[in-house]
Structure formats: structure tokens, C-alpha cells
Structure 1
Amino acid sequence: MEGCVVLQVRDDVRLAMLEKRRYGVAVPTLPLLVAMLTVAVCLPLWRLSTCPGAAPDAALVAPAYLLLMPGNATSLPSPYPLHKLPPLDPHHLIDLRHFAFRFNNFPCNETASPLLLVLVHSAPDNIGKRRAIRETWGGRRDALRLLFLLGEVDGADQQLRLERENLVHRDMVQGSFRDSYRNMTYKHVMALKWAAYFCPGARYLLKTDDDVFVNSPALLEFLSQDLSPWGARRLILCVPFHAATVKRSYRSKWRVSPSEYPGRVYPTYCAGWAILYSPDVAFLLYSEAQRDRYFWIDDVHVTGTLAAKANLTQTDLGSLVLSYEQVRALEAGGNASDVGHFLFGAPNLELASIHRLWEAVEGRASIPPS
């Protein structure tokens, strides 16, 4: 589902994250901390959100997550207990009983565990968008691992083009389901499946789309310094929607029938264009998805319904997302330092915008070693 952009600008985001890193324990999220300290100031800031259905009171619900440190990183169980899955799980994807990867790649088959695994939802025809990501924020494969996720296509010629592209770049994964809008949940759960089976050592996972700008240097720095280079547990970092109403109108792109979803309000869920998972969360959501019925709006289903069943909550990205106004300012020749610390640009960007944002970031950014 299309995300909205959080407009509030708060310098205390990084400070709160630094406090979490310093103590290395599960602590309340930033919205709760700010509300406890300065309720009179914080609530108006939360009302500045452009998210439909966003409720200031929802910000007071505090997700708890754990940042790993040398003292606790080795004492916790594996985030991917594959032995708990059914024997036929490798061949199943939700209700697909004969699932397979039509082609696959294995960038994590190395001694060192990557800090960040990036899984990009991409449509088969979006060749230019994949090229733009490879040429900009996704190009440093020594610092992150990146894969584009696709489904099956209709024509043999289109399939051949995808296979040739994959032979050149070795960064694409194709699952045995039709690539269509109502099959996005298959693609999302396939991403979680791929991480569990083929990249269990990644400290963090980013699910994103191919029209999103990721400030990869800043994101890698944020993960290794503001959070923890050893990883985290029970972390879902995103732009959350609170109390969004289910669309019933036949004129709505997001119309959902009562038989598909009987409730009137969705649980809190993430805008799907940028979701940062800790690996244990990826496994928990994957396990729930394999047992649950299919629902086609993947943002709602995976980060809302399934997250609630797994007793997981979302942490707000807040001002770490650029507004469209800030994106336009950078496109017009502004310096990345003028907009402060950010991790993501607004979604639904044109290719030229992604290139210009990368040029703005390169003017001051340095990528830490993996």
C-alpha cells in the first residue's frame, strides 16, 4: 500500500537512538520517551503527520526491542530456528504447495555476515529502476547485500530478458507465482523466506521498493552506530499507519470485500516502501504467514495482521524520512546537510530524482566498512 511521508522534523530521533545503543537493552520507543518528557510539545508534532488515520494516542503504545551488544549477542538463540518449520516448508509459500525459485542468487554465501540485506520489490518491466539503484545507493555491495524480487511473467521473450539481466548482475530472485499487484503478499513473504534460508547471518533486513531512495551511507552508519552493529531483536522500523479504515468503495484502488477482510479497521501496519526488520522478526512473520490465509495487501497483512499475531509492534521512523518538499530542495541543487540526518527519500520517485538525490548525498557521505 502506498505510504505517506512523515513531515515532522525532530532532532531528538538520533539522540534517543543513541541512548538505546548506549544501554543495549529493550527501552521504550522515541514517541513514548518524548511524550513522557514533553507532552505539551510532542502531541502537536505527532498531529503534523500526513498519514491518513494516524492517531496521536497510538504513538503512546511503546514497542519494546532489544539491541544486541557483546554481552548478550552470543547468549540469545538463533533468529532463524529452521528446525521448527514443517519438513515441506521449502516447497510451500503460504497457500502455494509447489513453490520454487525460477532463478536465484546467493550473495550471502560468504564468511562474513552482512550488516544489511536489502530486498527490493521490483516489477519485471522496471529495468530502468533496477539500473538506477545499481548505479546509485545500491552499488556498494561490499557494505550491503542487495536483491531484486520478481514473480513470473507471461511471455518467453520477457522471461529471457530477465534471465539475461540476471546473468549480468547476479542480483535477482524470481518466484513461481504470477507477478501482479494482488500477488504482492507472495513477493513479500518470499523475501522473508529467502532471508531465512539463504542469508541467516544478516544483522538487519530492509524491505523496500524500486522507486524509493535509500540514503545507504547514512543507513549503514545508523545501523552500526545509532543502533548496534551486532543487530537487534523484535525490531520493525517503519512509517506506521494507525487505525486505517478498510476501503469498501468500488471506486477505490484499495477496495477490500467483507469476505476478504471482515473488520472495519486495520491493525497498525507499516508503509511498505521502507521497512527495517531484525532477523528474528523476519522469521516470526514468515512463520505466521505460512500458517495464515492469504490477504493481498501485503503491508497490512505482513506488518499488521501477522505482526499482531506474533505480538510485535512498530517503531516510527519519524523525521528520518524526507518530505517531498525536502526532496525537491535537494533536487534543485541543495546540499544533503541542509535537511539534516535522513535515511529515506519520499516514495514514488522518478529515476532522475533518485540520481540527483544520490549526487547530493555523495557530496558529503562516506560508507563505513562492512
Structure 2
Amino acid sequence: MLTIASIKFNGTIPPTFVEECHLSNLNLNGNQLEGSLSPSILNCRGLEVLDLGNNKINDTFPHWLGSLPQLQVLVLKSNQMHGSLHEHSSKSNPCFSKIQIFDLSSNYFSGPLPVRYIESFKAIIDYKKNGTTKSYMGVDDKYFNSGFYTYSIGIVIKGQDVELVKIFTMWMIIDLSNNMFEGGIPKVIGKLSLLKGLNLSHNNLNGGIPTSIGNLTSLEWLDLSSNRLSGTIPNRLTDLAFLTSLNVSENQLHGQIPQGKQFNTFGNDSYEGNKGLCGFPVSKGCNIIEPPPPNVLEKDGSKSNIAFGWKVVLIGYGCGVVFGMAMGYVVFQIGKPKWLVMNLVENQHEKRRRRKSKNGNHRNGQRKI
């Protein structure tokens, strides 16, 4: 075991590791180391933990580390590493078959997520189904349920930086956050049934959230925030009984948020930044037709009175039109009944006689004065 962590050493990583190297843990975290990692580290065939996080390493991904047969923890976070993992994933065979913690966060990696590496994480896939060893991180099967290992690393758990003084043998974590990965989340990630934590936040991932994530029945925290994911949140995620932390904020998701079980415990901050999401716990409801806004004048009742008056006018107008049409039909289609015509003529003559009588009386009165 070699631990030279947080001492602020600068310079380069040792270019040569001697043959028959017996290191099981190499921890150089928190220094100012630069340069690249020498392939001579493959001489350390028993290496289980490699922690080079929080340095200034400027290099592409060291794909050849996948051939270390006992490597279980790889931490390269917070460096200046770059390039595509997809380009190199076919060059290492076998690759990372015993890996349990794979932390490449806060670098400049780009391209699609490394599907072949994910398929090769046999220790995170149910070992009973794959026939792999039952020994994890130096702990035999008889201590499997309660074993700790003496190694310590710093990782992000549920959005918080945590220093694990002793690594629990069953920690299975993938952290590829704060990079420039693009493309979709591969469905094959749903095969990692023993995974405890998955962080793919702050990348350029697009497409939908695969329903296969619902197969990760051991998952305790899932962070997919700050990407360009679209579509709906799969209802199958409600089957993740151990999920205590979910963050899908700052994406382009829409539709109803799954309800029930542990989803009832997640707050609004898990979903903020997705304008299309609706349902608990966000304020936007789903499939609700909102009533039109009330008229301002209805506050004092005057608007409702005016509306009522117009209704009466419209009803009367409608009745008048119907009556007129009916009378027109009678007059012009049935034959202009004489009684109706005579009544109209007599009424007109009577009105003229009354007007003449009034006018005559008015003139006589003026002459007498």
C-alpha cells in the first residue's frame, strides 16, 4: 500500500514501476501531479485501488488499466483528462471485469458513454448470474455481508462529497459527471443490478431515460441533472425500492411525474428546470382544464347585471325574428288574409284623423288669444 494523499506534491507520476510490484493500493489523490500515467503500472498485477483524483494529469483515458486483473476501484476525478472513452474501449480485453467504483468525474471526456466498459463491469452485474468470484475488495464470501476494507477514498454520494475511511465491500458506484459526454444513455446500463450510485449529471446527454434503469434494484441515488434529456420519467423507476435520492433537474423532460412509493418523498428540487413536468410535487397539475379568468367588473356585481340584461335582449330579439318569419309565411304563402290587411289600413286612417283633429284645435286656440 502506498498513500501519498493531499501532500501537494508536484511533478510527474513515477514513470517506471518495477516488475513484480506488490502494491495493492496506490493513492496519490490531492496533489499537483502532472503528465501522464505510465503503462509500467501494469507490473503491479495485484493492484486493487488506484486513486489519482484531484491532480493536474493531462492525458487521454488509460484504457490499458482494464487489464489489471484485480483492479476494483479507479478514481481519476478532477484532472485534465480528455478524449473519447468509446475510441479506446475496444483496445482493452478483458476490461475492468472486477471494477466496483469507477469515478471519472470533473474531467474533459467527450463522445458517447463507453458501452463496452459498462458491459464488462461483471462485479456490478449480479455475480450469481455471471459465475464471478464472491470475493470483493479483499473480503472473502464468509465476510461478504459485513466486510469493510482498509482503503479510503473520497467520492460524491447523493450530491455530497464524502470521505470513506473504510470502503464498504458492497459499494458499487459509477460517476461520470461534469464531463462532455454526449448521445443517449445506453440501455445496457440496466444490467448493473448491484449498482448503488449512478451520477451522469452535467454532461450533454440527450434522448430519453431508458426504462432499463428500473432494473437497478439496488440503486440508492441517481443523478441525471443538467443534461438535455427529453421524454417522460419512466414509471418503472418506482420499482427502485432503495432509491433515496433522485435528481433529474435542468433537463427537457415532460409529462406526469411518477407517483407512489419512494417518489412521494422527493421534493420539487429533484425536478426543477423541466417546464413540461406536471404532478406532485411540482405546482403544475396534469390534464386539468383551467377555467377562464374572472372578469374584473364582476367584483361589484355590475358586470353580471350587464351580462344578464344582454341575455334578455338577445332572447327577445330571437323571439321577434321567429314571429316575423312566421307572419311573413302566412301573409305571402297563404294568400294575404283580408282581415289583417283591413285592420292595418283602418289603424293607419284612425291615426291620421287624430293628428288632424289635434292640429285643428291647436290653431283655433291661438286665434282666440
Structure number, greater radius of gyration:
2
Same fold (TM over 0.5): no
Tell me the TM-score normalised to structure 1 length: 0.21
More helix by share: 1
Tell me the TM-score normalised to structure 2 length: 0.21
More strand by share: 2
